[in-house]
A and B are shown apart, each in its own frame.
Chain A
Amino acid sequence: MTLLEFARGPGLQGALIIFVVGVLWRLVGILLLKHKRDYNEPRYGGLWPLWGGFKMIFTRFWPRKPFQARTAYNETLGYIFHIGLAIIVFGGGFHILFIEDLFGVSWPHLPNDVIYLAGVVTLVAMIALLIRRLTHPVLRMLSNFDDYFSWLVTILPVVTGLMAVAHFGARYETLLAIHILSFELMLVWFPFGKLMHAFLFVPSRAASGYIMTRRGAST
């Protein structure tokens, strides 16, 4: 079995199984936790807390005014690389073929040049964010293995994908295999590290919004 055969076959299947088990394990485990009863008289009762929870899922996409200047660097670059990743994953013709094979749905792809540009911009943004993390004293103190490893497994598919399309460094089949394997590494790490925020940010914000509305705080 060649490296590419492994990456496209058992490797991919194994990584997806770990991903699905891990994500559902964590989501179900958290959602079924017992929540402490709030005995306080609600400031806003009825359906208001639910509305507050729903609202906060979206209001937290943007920092509040007093924090905007301080968080501008991280927010801007964070948005750039998240949007870049979305363009690559959901706009790239080769990735849509992968998704179509998995889920049976497809849509028109973006021009290759747009995907390559998104790849380079994403790469630069992620490196800039790492430099910030390494040089900012407070951020550096707050960072642990999870932060760095999550960054690594996210950037690796971008780097290897760019190498594969450029046919740079090795034969195409090797580069394609390494690209798929790097994606599989991300899938395996995803449920167990901070990448899980992709799923957890919704229930987390909703729960906070619910509680804060009930207590009369602004959401």
Chain B
Amino acid sequence: MTEETLGEMMSRRGMSRRTFLKFCTAVASSMALPPSMAPVMAESLANARRRSVIWLSFQECTGCTESLTRSYSPTLEKLIFDFISLDYHHTLSAASGHAVEKAREEAMEANQGEYLLIVDGSIPVKDGGVYSTIAGMTNRQMLEETARHAKAIVAVGTCAAFGGIPKAKPNPTGAVSVEDIITDKPIVHVPGCPPIGEVITGTVSHYLTFNTLPELDDKRRPLAFFGDTIHDRCYRRPFYDQGKFAESFDDEGARKGWCLYKLGCKAPIAHNACATVKWNQGTSFPIQSGHGCFACSEPDFWDQGGFYKPLSAGVWGSAEGIAAAAAAGVAVGAGAAAVSRARQKKLAEGESEDTFKGGV
């Protein structure tokens, strides 16, 4: 951590208190904090020192970083990069090779127990983790080494949080999430494929402000952003309630903006802020653009039976099991009938013998 406080640094750079308060209000409102928290946040941040952040990227597509760099407002993005000292990041670091690895080691050494570790991408553990290595280290080794002295970990993106696409069946690299490996550190998940930029910055801001992780749900996601489903906040929800559904992507229902449930929309099980925060400066989100939600912020979203299969439909491998069951049912029934018929015959013979003995 640098000695200069953020307040001092912003003052040196000529940032007005008004601009700073506007930023804090935006962050507080995006996290559903009461308006009274904005000045508290401003006070806290102004007195905070820039915290060292190490960002590790493993089996990922850089979509999470792309999303972060397109964070809602340029000012917000700029401020976030002013609040933290991003000491290691594959895509954003100016240095490369040995120099950048040295930067990571120095940041760990200088900020032992204080730095924030952000991870995107899943970690391959199959075959000794050979499927992804950086600077001669497997992803697992680098994660364990870097996490050892981290204050907390933010797993950004569904890959880091839940394994994501690399973990999709048949999971050839044995991909796992951060929490599958690191069990002794506070971890917060910011899933999404990619996560919304404001959700990443909002979560980090909360940590910088209050020095604690935000309130989380049972999947370690900040409740402020993941408390509601997209379905709960979807502007097409009234059509769902009325039973008005698009049957195909170009029918009348689709043109009228009706609910996309029948076309496989997974919004009812997707906890995320897409319907409220939206993307690209609040322009739109997938459902608004006419496509169903993938529920990409949920574990194993890739293996839910297909993006276009409705939620109320079953997830089948094939119908062979049912066909075999039908054959088995007929065979067992026929067998039971054969046993019963033999018994019926035996009883009938007994009856005639009894009748005969009776002397009729």
Using CB atoms and an 8 Å cutoff, list the residues of chain A in contact with chain B: 1-2, 4-5, 8-9, 12-13, 16-18, 20-34, 93-95, 97-98, 100-102, 109-113, 115, 167, 171-173, 176
Nearest Cβ in chain A — how far from B203, in angstroms?
A: 21
Chain A residues near B317: list those with CB within 8 A: 13
> How far, in whole Å, are A95 and B262 apart by their CA atoms in the complex?
11
Query: Which residues 329-360 of B sit at the A interface, judged by CB distance below 8 A?
Result: 329-330, 332-334, 336-338, 340-341, 344-345
When the two chains form their complex, are residues A27 and B333 in contact, meaning their CB atoms are under 8 A apart? Answer: yes
**Within the complex, which residue of B261, B309, B344 is in contact with A33, where a contact is CB–CB below 8 Å?**
B344
4 interchain residue pairs of minimum CB distance: A28-B333, A24-B329, A32-B337, A101-B313
When the two chains form their complex, are residues B269 and A98 in contact, meaning their CB atoms are under 8 A apart? Answer: no
When the two chains form their complex, are residues B315 and A9 in contact, meaning their CB atoms are under 8 A apart? Answer: yes
Of B7-15, B63-71, B130-138, B241-249, which stretch is located at the interface?
A: B241-249
Nearest Cβ in chain B — how far from A37, in angstroms?
A: 10
Chain B interface size, as a band, is 35 or more
**Within the complex, which residue of A21, A30, A173 is in contact with B269, where a contact is CB–CB below 8 Å?**
A173
- Closest residue to B314 on the A side, CB-wise? A12
Chain B residues near A95: list those with CB within 8 A: 312
Chain B residues near A173: list those with CB within 8 A: 268-269
Query: Which residues 296-337 of B sit at the A interface, judged by CB distance below 8 A?
Result: 299-300, 303-305, 309-317, 321-322, 324-326, 328-330, 332-334, 336-337
- Closest residue to A4 on the B side, CB-wise? B269
Chain B residues near A9: list those with CB within 8 A: 305, 314-316
Nearest Cβ in chain A — how far from B285, in angstroms?
A: 19
A-B CB contact pairs (8 Å), 16 listed: A8-B313, A8-B315, A13-B322, A16-B322, A16-B325, A17-B325, A24-B326, A24-B329, A26-B333, A28-B336, A29-B340, A30-B337, A32-B337, A110-B243, A112-B242, A172-B268
Number of A-B contacts (CB under 8 A): 124
When the two chains form their complex, are residues B329 and A176 in contact, meaning their CB atoms are under 8 A apart? Answer: no
> How far, in whole Å, are A8 and B266 apart by their CA atoms in the complex?
14
When the two chains form their complex, are residues A13 and B316 in contact, meaning their CB atoms are under 8 A apart? Answer: yes
When the two chains form their complex, are residues A20 and B329 in contact, meaning their CB atoms are under 8 A apart? Answer: yes
When the two chains form their complex, are residues A5 and B300 in contact, meaning their CB atoms are under 8 A apart? Answer: yes
- Closest residue to B259 on the A side, CB-wise? A93
Check if B231 is an interface residue, CB within 8 A of chain A: yes
> How far, in whole Å, are A113 and B268 apart by their CA atoms in the complex?
19
> How far, in whole Å, are A9 and B300 apart by their CA atoms in the complex?
14
> How far, in whole Å, are A31 and B322 apart by their CA atoms in the complex?
22
Chain B residues near A176: list those with CB within 8 A: 268-269, 311-312
When the two chains form their complex, are residues B313 and A25 in contact, meaning their CB atoms are under 8 A apart? Answer: no
Nearest Cβ in chain A — how far from B154, in angstroms?
A: 23
> How far, in whole Å, are A18 and B328 apart by their CA atoms in the complex?
10
> How far, in whole Å, are A101 and B309 apart by their CA atoms in the complex?
8
